[in-house]
Chain A
Amino acid sequence: MKHSELTGRSHIVEGEGPFGGPLAKREPLVSDHRTWAQVNDDVASHTETMPTKLWWAAFIPSLLLMLMFFTSLGIIIMTGMGTVGISHPVGWGVFIVNFVFWIGIGHAGTLISAILFLFRQHWRTAINRSAEAMTIFAVMTAGIFPLLHTGRPWFAYWLFPLPNGRGPLWVNFTSPLLWDVFAVSTYGTISVVFWYVGLVPDLASLRDRAKHPLRRTIYGLLSLGWTGGNRSWRHYEAAYLMLAGLATPLVLSVHTIVSFDFAVSVIPGWHTTIFPPYFVAGAIFSGFAMVLTLTIIMRHTFNLKSYITINHLESMAKVVLLTSGVVGVAYLTEFFIAYYSAVEPEQFHFANRMLGPYWWAAMIMYGCNMGIPQLLWFKAIRRSIPALFVISLFVNLGMWFERYVIVTTSLHRDFLPSSWGMYNFKVMDWLLTIGSFGMFMTLFLLFARVLPTICMFEVKAVMDPAGASRKVAKEVARG
C-alpha cells in the first residue's frame, strides 16, 4: 500500500499563515514523487504493450456476456416481446429498469468533467477521463433498451419528428418519452464531443510516442493535427470551458426528463413532484458508485495508484455519502407525504411497497441506498479500499433495485384489484440484464487498452512544479 504517506488531512504549519496564524498545505494530488515524464510513461505504456493476463481474464468473460446480450436482443427482435416476462399489468419491466439504471450510471462522468470543473475541484483530473468514457458506454448500453421496447426497433427513426409519408402522423410532442429521445441523444452527443475534445492533447502525446508508423498515423489522425502550440492551447481552453458550460445543464436535464416519464402519470409511486431532483441525485449516487468500482479495479490492474490516490477515493466516497443522504431524504419525504396526503391509493402504494409481495426488493433498495452508505461517515471506512469496493457494489445493486421497485411495484397493483398481477423475470430478462453489463465492461476494457485512461496533461497541471520536473528529480537523486 503506497498510499500510507497520504493522510487525507492538510499539513498544518504553525505561524506561517498570512496574519501569523497556521497555514494548511493540502496534500499533493499525485503521490509517490512522480515527475512529469513519468506521467506519460505510467499512463501511456498500457496502450503500448501487449495486454496483461489480468486484462484478458476480465475481457474474455465480458465479451462472452456481450455476445449473450446480442443474442438475446436478436431473439427479441426475431421472436418478439413475449420472450421476456413483461405482461399485463406490468408493461414496463426489464427494459425500463435497465434503461434508467444505465442512464443513471452515465451521470457521474459529466458531473465530474463539467460541474467539478466549474467548481475548480482539481482532484477530478485523475478520474474524469475514465468517468467520461463510462458515461458514453453507459448511455450506449441504455439506449438499446427503449429501442427494443418499442417492439419494432427497425422503425426507430419514427422517434424523430421527420416529415413523412404516413399522413399527418407526427410524434407525440407532449409525451415525456419523446423528450427522452431528445434529451438522451443530446446528452450522448455532448458527452462524446466533450470527451473527444479533452482527449486531443493526449492523443497527440500518444502519436509522438508511437514507434510503429501505422500507430503514428492512427493517433495522428485522431489528434487532429494538434501542435501543442500556444494557439492550440488557447482554443482548446476556450472550447473546453464552453463545453463544460453546455454539459452542466445536461447533468440535470437528462435524469429530470427520465423522471418525467414516471412523474407526469397519475400512478401512485410514480406521480410525485420530488422525482426530478431525487432522480438526479440518485443518478449521481449510482454513477459515482460505479466510478468507484471501476477505478478501484483500474488503479490496481494498471498500477495507477500514484494518480488515483486514496484521497481521490475518499472524495468520491464523500460524494456517495452526500447523494445517499439526498436520496434518503427523498425516500422519507415520499413516505411522509403519502401519509400526509390522505390519498388512499398513495397510502396503499407505500404500504404495499414495504409489506406487499415485493417487500424484499424494497428492503434491498432502502438497505443498500440509505443504510449501508451511512458507514461512509467514518473516515477509516472511507479510506479502506476493500470496504469502499464492497460498499460501491452494494450501491450499484441498490440503485438497480430502486428502479425495479419504482417500475414494478407501482404497476403490479392497479387501481382495480381485478387488474392485479405479478412480474417475474424470465430467462430472457436475466440474459438482457446480465448481458448489458458485458457490453458495458467490454467497451470499457477496450477503451482502457487503446486510449490513455488518465488525462495526462491535466494531471501534469496539478502537480507541484518544484517536484515534478525531471531536472529537479535528478538533482534530488544525486543528493
Chain B
Amino acid sequence: MAHASHHHDIAPPKDLKIPKLFFMIALGLLIFGAVVFAAALFIAPVRAWQGYLIGFWFTLSLGLAGPFLIATQYLSKAGWGISIRRIPEAMGAYLFAAIPLSIAALLGAPKLFKWLKPEAVNDAIIAQKFDFLNFTGLALVSIAAPIAFALVHFLMRRNSLAQDVDGKASHSRQNILLSALFVIVFVLGFSFMTWYWIMSLDAHWFSTMFQVYAFAGMFQSGLALVAIVLLVLLAHGYFGGTVGVQHVHDIGKLVFAFTVFYAYIAFCQFMLIWYANIPEEVVWYTHRLEDGWQWVTLALPFVKFIIPFLVLLPMDHKKNKNNILWYICWLLLAVQLFEVWYWVTPYPHFDGHHGPSLPIYELPIALGFVGLFMLVTGRALQAHKLVPIKDPLLHESIPHSHSHHGSSQADLEAQANNVVRES
C-alpha cells in the first residue's frame, strides 16, 4: 500500500489553544466543589464523603478509560485510531491527580464503611470478612492501584511523546508491551478498587459480576467523553486533514457497542440475582426497589440503554448527523454520574434516612472533581502535539479524501458547523 506519495498535501494538525474561559469554568467548579465539601464536612459529613466518593469514582473511571482504550489499540495493532490518540492520552493524565485524591479518600473511609465502625465486630457476617475488609487492605489498594495506573500510563505517554520528536518505531513496540502491562494492572487494580470502594459499601452483599459491571459503565462513559472531545476539536478544525468523519463513526460504533455491553452485563447481574432470589444477594436490589429508589432503578435501563441504543442505531446518527452523537454522549456522561450516585448513596446505615434525597451536597462536590478533571486533561491536551504525527501507523488513520469516500469532506464540514453552533 503505497500511501506515502499521497500524503504531501495533508493539512497538518494545528496547535491546540484551549480558551481561557474553559479553565476559568474548570477552576470555578473546583473551588465551588471544594467549598461545598468543606461546608458539608460540618453539616453532613457522611454525605460529604459520599459526594467525594461519587466525584472521585466518576473521574477516576474517565481517567482510566483513556489509557485502557489506547492499550486495546496497541495490542490489536489497530491503525485507525492513531490520529485521535492524544484525546485518551490526555484523559489518562488525570490518573496522576487520582493518587492524592485516592489517599485523601481514606480519611473519609470510616464515615463511608460500616465495616470500619467499631461495632462491626458484632456483625457476624462482616466479622468473617475482616481478613479482607480492614483499613490496611483498603489503604494498600487505594495507594498502590492509582500509582500503578499512573506509572504505566506515564511510561506509555512518554514513549508516545518521544516519538513525535525522534520518530522511532521502537517506541511503538515498547508501548505494545506497556499496553499488556497496563491491562494487567488495570484489571487487578480496578477489581480491587471496585470491591473496596463500591461493593463493600454494603458489606454483606457480593456479586462476582460487580467489577465487570463497574467496568462496563466506566468504558461506556469514557468512550462518550472521547467522542465529545473529538467532535469539539474536529469542529474547530484542529486536526487538519488527519481526522475524518470515519473516526467519528468508529468512536460512535464503539459507544454503541459498549452501550449494549453495559446493558448485557447489568441485565445479567440483575436477572440472575432476581431469579435465584437468595436473601443475602437480593438485598442490593431490594434496597433500590423501595423508598423512592425504585424510580431511579426503573429509569436506569432507559437512560443508559434503551434511549442511546435506539437513537444510535442508524449509521448517520453514529456519524453525528444533526449532532445526535454529541447529545447522546453528554447523556451517557451524565447518567454515569447518576449511576455512581445510585451505587453510593442508598446506604441508610449512618444518618437514618432511606429514600433518595436531592444531591445538594453530592452534586457540587462531584462537579468539583469534574472541574479538576477538566483542568488536568485540558492542560495535558494542549501541552503537546494534538496528533502523534510520527507514529508509524498514522497513515492508516488518515482519511483518503480523494478515494471512494467522496462525500466525507463535505460531511465533515457540515458536522463541524453543527458542533460549532453548539459550543
- Contact among A24, A265, A274, A340 for B392, CB-based, below 8 A: A24
- Contact among A23, A277, A330 for B265, CB-based, below 8 A: A277
**Assembled-state Cα–Cα distance A10/B80 (Å):** 15
Quote the shortest CB–CB distance from B246 to chain A (angstroms).
Answer: 11
Contact B276 A17 (CB under 8 A): no
9-residue interface stretch from B4-12, B37-45, B49-57: B4-12
**Assembled-state Cα–Cα distance A216/B167 (Å):** 57
Contact A18 B268 (CB under 8 A): no
User: Does residue B96 face the partner (Cβ distance < 8 Å to A)?
Assistant: no
Contact A273 B4 (CB under 8 A): no
Query: Which among A21, A24, A266 has the greatest number of chain B C-beta atoms within 10 A?
Result: A21
Quote the shortest CB–CB distance from A324 to chain B (angstroms).
Answer: 13
Please provide the chain B residues from 223 to 272 with a CB less than 8 Å away from any CB of chain A in the complex.
242, 260, 264-265, 268-269, 271-272
A273-B273, A342-B128 known; A12+B208 contact, CB < 8 A: no
Contact B272 A271 (CB under 8 A): yes
Q: Which residue of the partner chain A has the closest CB to B188?
A: A329
Q: Which residue of the partner chain B has the closest CB to A176?
A: B275
Task: Please list 28 pairs of residues, one from A and one from B, whose beta carbons are closer than 8 Å in the complex, sorted by A's number.
Answer: A10-B392, A12-B169, A13-B4, A18-B394, A19-B389, A19-B394, A20-B390, A21-B389, A21-B390, A22-B167, A22-B169, A22-B390, A23-B4, A25-B1, A264-B271, A264-B272, A264-B276, A272-B272, A273-B268, A273-B272, A274-B207, A276-B272, A277-B212, A329-B191, A340-B129, A341-B280, A342-B128, A377-B180
A23-B3, A334-B208, A342-B128 known; A263+B272 contact, CB < 8 A: yes
User: Does residue A333 face the partner (Cβ distance < 8 Å to B)?
Assistant: yes
Add 11 more A-B contacts to A263-B276, A274-B212 (CB < 8 A). Answer: A17-B167, A18-B7, A19-B394, A24-B169, A24-B393, A264-B272, A325-B187, A334-B208, A337-B206, A339-B131, A342-B125
Query: Which among A23, A276, A336, A339 has the greatest number of chain B C-beta atoms within 10 A?
Result: A23
User: Does residue A195 face the partner (Cβ distance < 8 Å to B)?
Assistant: no
Q: Which residue of the partner chain A has the closest CB to B277?
A: A266
Contact A337 B207 (CB under 8 A): yes
Quote the shortest CB–CB distance from A371 to chain B (angstroms).
Answer: 16
- Contact among B4, B129, B209, B392 for A12, CB-based, below 8 A: B392
User: Does residue B321 face the partner (Cβ distance < 8 Å to A)?
Assistant: no
User: Does residue A410 face the partner (Cβ distance < 8 Å to B)?
Assistant: no
User: Does residue B354 face the partner (Cβ distance < 8 Å to A)?
Assistant: no
**Assembled-state Cα–Cα distance A269/B58 (Å):** 33
Contact A341 B206 (CB under 8 A): yes
- Contact among B271, B278, B395 for A271, CB-based, below 8 A: B278
User: Does residue B295 face the partner (Cβ distance < 8 Å to A)?
Assistant: no
Point out residues on A near B: beta carbons under 8 Å.
10, 12-26, 120, 249, 252, 256, 260, 263-266, 271-277, 325, 329-330, 333-334, 336-337, 339-343, 377, 464
User: Does residue B362 face the partner (Cβ distance < 8 Å to A)?
Assistant: no
User: Does residue B391 face the partner (Cβ distance < 8 Å to A)?
Assistant: yes
Contacts of A19 in B (CB 8 A): 7, 10, 12, 389-390, 394
Q: Which 7 A-B pairs have the closest CB atoms?
A: A21-B390, A24-B392, A273-B209, A274-B208, A18-B7, A21-B167, A342-B128
Contacts of A377 in B (CB 8 A): 180
Contact B132 A18 (CB under 8 A): no
Contact A252 B264 (CB under 8 A): yes
Quote the shortest CB–CB distance from A328 to chain B (angstroms).
Answer: 10
**Assembled-state Cα–Cα distance A18/B7 (Å):** 5
Quote the shortest CB–CB distance from B255 to chain A (angstroms).
Answer: 14
Contacts of A120 in B (CB 8 A): 80
**Assembled-state Cα–Cα distance A276/B267 (Å):** 10
User: Does residue B219 face the partner (Cβ distance < 8 Å to A)?
Assistant: no
Contacts of A336 in B (CB 8 A): 195
Contacts of B4 in A (CB 8 A): 13, 16-18, 23
Q: Which residue of the partner chain B has the closest CB to A277?
A: B212
Contacts of A266 in B (CB 8 A): 276, 278
Point out residues on B near A: beta carbons under 8 Å.
1, 3-4, 7, 10, 12, 77, 80, 125, 128-129, 131-132, 163, 167-169, 172, 180, 187, 191, 195, 206-212, 242, 260, 264-265, 268-269, 271-273, 275-276, 278, 280, 389-395, 398
**Assembled-state Cα–Cα distance A334/B209 (Å):** 10
- Contact among A18, A276, A333 for B10, CB-based, below 8 A: A18
Quote the shortest CB–CB distance from B99 to chain A (angstroms).
Answer: 25
Q: Which residue of the partner chain A has the closest CB to B4?
A: A16
Contacts of A340 in B (CB 8 A): 129, 132, 195, 206
Contact B395 A18 (CB under 8 A): yes
Contact A333 B392 (CB under 8 A): no
Contact B390 A276 (CB under 8 A): no
Contact B211 A342 (CB under 8 A): no
**Assembled-state Cα–Cα distance A276/B275 (Å):** 14
**Assembled-state Cα–Cα distance A277/B210 (Å):** 12
Query: Which among B128, B191, B269 has the greatest number of chain A C-beta atoms within 10 A?
Result: B128
Contacts of B391 in A (CB 8 A): 17, 21
Quote the shortest CB–CB distance from B30 to chain A (angstroms).
Answer: 36
Contact A18 B392 (CB under 8 A): no
Quote the shortest CB–CB distance from A348 to chain B (angstroms).
Answer: 14
Contacts of A265 in B (CB 8 A): 276
Contacts of B275 in A (CB 8 A): 264
Quote the shortest CB–CB distance from A446 to chain B (angstroms).
Answer: 35
Contacts of A325 in B (CB 8 A): 187
**Assembled-state Cα–Cα distance A464/B3 (Å):** 13
**Assembled-state Cα–Cα distance A343/B191 (Å):** 21
Query: Which among B129, B265, B268, B398 has the greatest number of chain A C-beta atoms within 10 A?
Result: B268
- Contact among B163, B191, B260, B272 for A275, CB-based, below 8 A: B272
Contact A18 B398 (CB under 8 A): yes
Contact A273 B392 (CB under 8 A): no
- Contact among B168, B210, B264, B398 for A276, CB-based, below 8 A: B264
Contact A333 B208 (CB under 8 A): yes
Contact A273 B167 (CB under 8 A): no
Contact B395 A273 (CB under 8 A): no
Quote the shortest CB–CB distance from A263 to chain B (angstroms).
Answer: 5
Contact B206 A333 (CB under 8 A): no
**Assembled-state Cα–Cα distance A275/B264 (Å):** 12
Contacts of A330 in B (CB 8 A): 208
**Assembled-state Cα–Cα distance A16/B191 (Å):** 43
Contact B206 A17 (CB under 8 A): no
A17-B390, A260-B272, A273-B207 known; A343+B280 contact, CB < 8 A: yes
Contacts of B389 in A (CB 8 A): 17-19, 21
Contacts of B265 in A (CB 8 A): 276-277
**Assembled-state Cα–Cα distance A271/B272 (Å):** 8
**Assembled-state Cα–Cα distance A25/B396 (Å):** 10
Contacts of B269 in A (CB 8 A): 273
**Assembled-state Cα–Cα distance A329/B75 (Å):** 19
Quote the shortest CB–CB distance from B195 to chain A (angstroms).
Answer: 7
Quote the shortest CB–CB distance from B262 to chain A (angstroms).
Answer: 12
Quote the shortest CB–CB distance from B259 to chain A (angstroms).
Answer: 13
